Amino acid sequence: MSSDRASGNFLITSFKSNNYGWLVVFVMFLALSMVSVARASIGLAMPSLEADLGWSKSFISTVVAWALIGMAITSPLVGNLLDRFGARNILVIGLLVIGLALGLTSQVDSVWQILLVYSVLGGIGFGIVSKNVAGATISRHFDQNRGLAVGFANAGSTAGHIAILPIMAMILTAFGWRWGYLFLAAVCVVLLPVVWLLIKPGADVVRTPRRGAERAGREAMIEDDVPDTMGGRLARLFRNRTFLALLGSYTICGFTATGMIDTHFLPYAVSCGIPLVTSATAYGVLAAFNMCGMALAGYLSDRINRPRLLAVIYIMRGLSYGILLLVPVYDLNLIWVFAVVFGIFDYSTIPVTTSLVATHIGLRTIGLSLGVLAMFHAAGGAAGAFMGGVLFDAFQKYDLVWVAAISVAMIAGVLVLTISENRPKPSQPVPAPAAA
C-alpha cells in the first residue's frame, strides 16, 4: 500500500514540476498511435490484398520493405532539421504526408500505384513522424525522469494498436480494405490541429551547449565538440564506439520487431487457422503489454545500469520467438502467451536506447543521432519484412523466420554489453565539467 502511494506521489510530483514537458509527451503519444497503426495496417490488409489484387506475400512484403527504406532515408535528414527548427512544423508536415498516403492507398489497383503511394510517400511520412523525433523532442524537455517520459510517449505506438487497429479490422471485415484505409486517413487529419495548437514553435531547439550548473558532468562536456555541419556531425557519431554498438543492436531491433512482427505476425496467425479479428485482438494484447514494458523500461532506465537492462530486453525478446514455433504444434492459444511475453520486451528498447544516446552522445545532436539509428532500424525492418515474405513463399511456413529472429536478438544482447554505464551513482559526487 505504501509503495503504491509512493509511486502515485512520484508521478504527481513529476507532472507538477514539468507541465509542458508532459503535454509534449501526450501529443507525441497521440501522433505515434496514428503512425504505428498506419505502418501495421499493411499486415492486417495483406490477406485482402492477396485475394482482391492477386499480389503475393513476397510482393506485399517488398512494398513494406521499400516503405521502410524510404523511412530510413528520411530519418537522419528529419533528425538534423529537428535539431535546428523544432518539432511542431515537422510533425504537421509529416501527418499531412501520411494522411495523403493513406487516402491514396485506398484507391490503388496496380503495382506501381502501391509502390509510389505507400512505399515512397508513406515511407517519407513515417520517417517524419517517428519514435526518434518523439524521443529527441522529449529528451530536451526532461532532465529528470527522461527515460520514463520517453517510455510513456512511445507507448502510443502500441496504444494505437489497441484502440484503432481492431476498429480497422472490423471495417475491413465488414466493408473492405479500401474503407479501412480511408478511416485511417481521417484519423490522421483529426490530429493536425491538436499538434499545431499544443506544441510551441521552437521550444525544443538547443542552440548553444548548456554547461556548468545547468548541465553538470559528462553530459555537458560531450556537447562542446559538436560540429556545425551535418557531415561533421555524422563523422563524430561514427567515431563513437557507444553509438556504433547501439547502431548494430538497433538494426537488429528493427529486423526482429518492425520487419518480422509488425509485418508478419497477423499473416502468420491467420495461416495457423486463427480468425482475422481474433488475430488483430491478440496483436492488441501484445500492444497493451508493450505499453507496460516501455513504461517499466523507461522507469528502470532512470535508476539501474542501462546497458545490462538493454541486454536483458534483447535476449528475452529473442527467446519469446520460440513460443511462436510452438503455436501450430501444440496449441493455438499459445499465441496469447507470445503476445504477452513479446509485448513486454518489444518497444522497451526505445527509452533505454534514447537515454543512452542523451548521456553518451549529447542533446545538441540527439535528433540526428536518433535519426541515424532510426534509419538503420528501418533498414533492418526492411530486411526482416522482405526475408519473411520470401521464406514463406519458398517453404510455405514461417519457422526459419522465427529461428533467424532468435539468433540475431542474442547478438544484439551481446553488442550492448560492450557499452559502459557513465551515469554517476547517487552517492557519488557529480564531476565538474573540464575547464575550457
- Of 21-30, 334-343, 383-392, the one with minimum mean pLDDT is 383-392
Q: How far apart are CA 75 and CA 374, in angstroms?
A: 6
Q: Report the alpha-carbon distance of residue 38 to residue 54 in Å, rounded.
A: 22
Spans of all domains in the chain? 17-196+230-416
Q: Which of 67-81, 90-104, 225-239 has the lowest mean pLDDT?
A: 225-239
SS3 per-residue string spanning the chain: CHHHHHHHHHHHHHHHHCHHHHHHHHHHHHHHHHHHHHHHHHHHHHHHHHHHHCCCHHHHHHHHHHHHHHHHHHHHHHHHHHHHHCCHHHHHHHHHHHHHHHHHHCCCCCHHHHHHHHHHHHHHHHHHCCHHHHHHHHHCCCCCCHHHHHHHHHCHHHHHHHHCHHHHHHHHHHHCHHHHHHHHHHHHHHHHHHHHHHCCCCCCCCCCCCCHHHCCCHHHHCCCCCCCCHHHHHHHHHCCHHHHHHHHHHHHHHHHHHHHHHHHHHHHHHHCCCCHHHHHHHHHHHHHHHHHHHHHHHHHHCCCCHHHHHHHHHHHHHHHHHHHHHCCCCCCCHHHHHHHHHHHCCCCHHHHHHHHHHHHCCCCCHHHHHHHHHHHHHHHHHHHHHHHHHHHHHHCCCHHHHHHHHHHHHHHHHHHCCCCCCCCCCCCCCCCCCCC
Q: What are the pLDDT digits (tens) for 110-126? A: 888 989 999 899 999 98
Q: What pLDDT was estimated at residue 96?
A: 93
With cut-offs at 50, 70 and 90, classify the pLDDT of residue 215. very low
58 CB-contact burial (10 Å; exposed 0-12 / middle 13-18 / buried 19+) = middle
Position 202 confidence tier, pLDDT thresholds 50, 70, 90: low
Q: State mean pLDDT over 96-112.
A: 90
**Residue range 221-240: mean pLDDT, rounded:** 72
Mean pLDDT rounded to a whole number for the chain: 80
Q: What is the pLDDT of residues 281-317, one digit of tens each?
A: 887 788 788 888 888 888 898 888 999 999 999 999 9
The pLDDT of residue 9: 55
Q: What is the pLDDT of residue 95?
A: 92
Q: How many CB atoms lie within 10 A of CB 95?
A: 24
CB atoms within 10 A of CB 278: 15
Residue with the larger pLDDT of the pair 388 and 227: 388
- What span, in angstroms and rounded, lies between the C-alpha atoms of 390 and 397? 10
For the segment 365-388, what is each residue's pLDDT rounded down to a tens digit?
788 888 889 888 878 888 888 888
- Give the separation between CA 46 and CA 269, rounded to whole angstroms: 12
Calpha distance 327→338 (Å, rounded): 9
266 or 83, greater pLDDT: 266
Is the confidence at residue 225, as pLDDT, over 70?
Answer: no
**Structure confidence at residue 82 as a pLDDT band (50, 70, 90):** confident
Looking at residue 13, its pLDDT comes to 59
> How much is the pLDDT for 426?
47
pLDDT at 5 over 80: no
Q: Is the pLDDT of residue 210 over 50?
A: no
pLDDT of residue 273: 83
Taking Cα atoms as reference points, which of 239, 263, 214 lies closest to residue 363?
A: 214
pLDDT at 214: 44
Please state which CATH class domain 17-196+230-416 belongs to: mainly alpha
Least confident of 16-25, 65-74, 407-416: 16-25
pLDDT at 316: 94
More confident residue, 253 or 43: 253
Query: Which pLDDT value is given to residue 392?
Result: 77
Give the integer Cα–Cα distance in Å for 206 and 193. 25
Residue 203 or 82, more confident: 82
Q: Which residue has the higher pLDDT, 217 or 26?
A: 26
Looking at residue 17, its pLDDT comes to 64
Instruction: Please report the pLDDT score of residue 247 as a whole number.
Output: 94
Is it the case that residue 182 has pLDDT exceeding 70? yes
Q: Is the pLDDT of residue 425 over 60?
A: no
